[in-house]
Amino acid sequence: MLGSVEAAGKREIEGSGHVLLPPFVESHIHLDTVLTAGEPAWNESGTLFEGIGLWQRRKQALTSEDVLGRAEQVLRMLMLQGVLFVRTQADISDPKLTALRALLALRERVKPYMYVQVIAFPQDGIRACPDNEQRLEEALQLGADGIGAIPHLEPTREEGVASLEICFRLAQKHGCFVHVFCDEVDDAHSTFLESVAHLAMRSGLRERVTAAHASASAYYGEAYFQKVQGMLARSGVNVVCCPLINSAMQGRFENYPKGRGITRIKELWKAGVNVSIAHDDIQTPFYPFGTGNMLQAAHLAAHLAHMTGREEVAELVRMITVRGAKTLQLEAYGIAVGHPANFIMLEGSDAMDLVRRQPVCRYVVSHGRVVAETQPAVSRLFVALGESEHS
């Protein structure tokens, strides 16, 4: 617990030249799909639809050991990067709920030093795959922290809205989180974001609701976007942007000028909407890259959202810390007297320096214990600029 201490500790860490932050928050990741890029084949088109097809094939071979091994490896990777709070999706389009059960077990295993929320995610839809409604119910009975929907992949708009109504009804019944994959398409006519905001207000779930991706909002006409933005602000719905994967995956079917499907981060933030930034995928059929460094996601968001002012960059760091914590509804998060001693230290001077260089965490502390440490790289230059070849 954080507070004043007079006695010397067993170990003292020199903090000069470092930035002290609360731990990073990964508010949207798929731990069940991590480290499967290239299995059974590479996503050569880079599209969401080829990724879904590849995952459909790969998940036929899922076992609990398979999911646990890969997910635990990535959690270790995230911890080294200063992430101690994670919201993961678990695909429940599987009668045995293999991935969900494995991630629920992993959640308990890492609880002493890492906090994980598990969201039951119906990758194949709810109306398009009717069995998924019962699986969502079963997932909540097994202990899932929340449930989701993917309305833009349902057969029609009407079916998409119906899938959201099912999701919100179950969430009201169980008092859980709602985390919707919303409008992850390059289509101005995909308007489920307004439905999510409306249902959040109608159900009273409000801040317990999150809309992830919201890519289509990049293509909305301004008058309509202003309406949706106002609904989001009034509803309390959180928005999660995934700049790494969406900038790579969106716009694949467009001619130039190509849209990149990044939700309107700056505009939503300035309107009072809680926006967080997430990594989303780490070496999956959907996205072949990823290191778990949250500052990489913030760095790309700075470019795509035109957020390069000093206060804007500081806000980007808040989007991977305190705003992510608000999305997960974390209690006692942050560096304050009486809070658990959870914090990270990174070499740098301020938020601008961190986003510019994206350093790995020097120290990661969970409940007062150093759980990860990275020695800084040492670089040496053996010539002086302007020095002759024979000097």
Mean pLDDT over residues 344-359, rounded? Answer: 98
- Closest Cα to residue 343, out of 366, 309, 313, 312? 366
Residue 30 lies in a domain: yes
CATH number (domain holding residue 73): 3.20.20.140
C-alpha Rg value of the chain to the nearest Å: 21
User: What pLDDT does residue 5 have?
Assistant: 56
| Alpha-carbon dihedral angle through residues 129, 146, 300, 310, given to the nearest 10 degrees | 150
Range(s) of the domain holding residue 218: 18-373
Model pLDDT for residues 52-87, shown as the tens digit of each residue: 999 999 999 999 999 999 999 999 999 999 999 999
User: What pLDDT does residue 10 have?
Assistant: 73
User: What pLDDT does residue 390 have?
Assistant: 60
Model pLDDT for residues 232-288, shown as the tens digit of each residue: 999 999 999 999 999 999 999 989 988 899 999 999 999 999 999 999 999 999 999
Residue 213 lies in a domain: yes
Q: What is the number of structural domains in the chain?
A: 1
Number of CB atoms found within 10 A of residue 119's CB: 26
- Token pair, residue 368, equals 């007062």
Residue 12 above 90 pLDDT? no
Residue 12 lies in a domain: no
Residue 383 lies in a domain: no
Q: Do 357 and 112 contact (CB within 8 A), yes or no?
A: no
Model pLDDT for residues 312-331, shown as the tens digit of each residue: 999 999 999 999 999 999 99
pLDDT band at 8 (very low <50, low <70, confident <90, very high): low
Q: How far apart are CA 150 and CA 298, in angstroms?
A: 25
Query: pTM of the prediction?
Result: 0.95
Residue 180 lies in a domain: yes
Residue 179 lies in a domain: yes
pLDDT band at 383 (very low <50, low <70, confident <90, very high): confident
User: What pLDDT does residue 9 have?
Assistant: 67
Residue 44 lies in a domain: yes
Q: How far apart are CA 172 and CA 194, in angstroms?
A: 19
What are the angstrom distances between the C-alpha of 22 and each of 71, 153, 342? 23, 36, 6
Residue 379 lies in a domain: no
Instruction: Enumerate the active-site residues.
Output: 184
